[in-house]
Chain A
Amino acid sequence: MTQATKDSQLVQDYINGNERAIEVLINKHNARLTGFIYSKVGDRELTEDIFQDTFMKVIRTLKRGAYNEEGKFLPWVMRIAHNLIIDHFRKSNRMPMFEGSDVFSVFSLMGDERLNVEKQIIKEQIETDLTKLIKKLPEDQQEVLEMRLYKDMSFKEISENTGVSINTALGRMRYALINLRKLVEANSIVLTD
Chain B
Amino acid sequence: MEKIYTTKKNKHKLVSAKPETIKFLLDYSKSLQVMEADGIKYESNLN
> Which residues of chain A have a CB within 8 Å of any CB of chain B?
19, 22-23, 26-27, 30-31, 33-35, 38, 44, 47-48, 51-52, 55-56, 59-60, 63-65
Contact = CB atoms under 8 A, between A and B. Distances in A.
A51 B21 contact: yes
A35 B15 contact: yes
B41 A64 contact: yes
Contacts of A63: 29, 32-34, 43
Contact of A56 (B14, B25, B34): B25
Given A30-B22, A52-B24, A64 B43 contact: yes
Interface of B: 14-18, 21-22, 24-26, 28-30, 32-34, 41, 43
A30 B17 contact: yes
Nearest to B22: A26
A56 B15 contact: no
Given A23-B26, A56-B25, A59-B25, A31 B16 contact: yes
A48 B18 contact: yes
B29 A22 contact: yes
A27 B16 CA distance: 9
A56 B45 CA distance: 12
A56 B26 CA distance: 10
Given A30-B17, A31-B15, A52-B17, 13 more contacts: A19-B30, A30-B16, A31-B14, A34-B17, A35-B15, A44-B15, A47-B17, A48-B17, A48-B18, A52-B25, A56-B28, A63-B32, A63-B33
A60 B32 contact: yes
Nearest to A47: B15
A40 B1 CA distance: 41
A44 B30 CA distance: 26
Nearest to B41: A64
B25 to A, nearest CB: 5
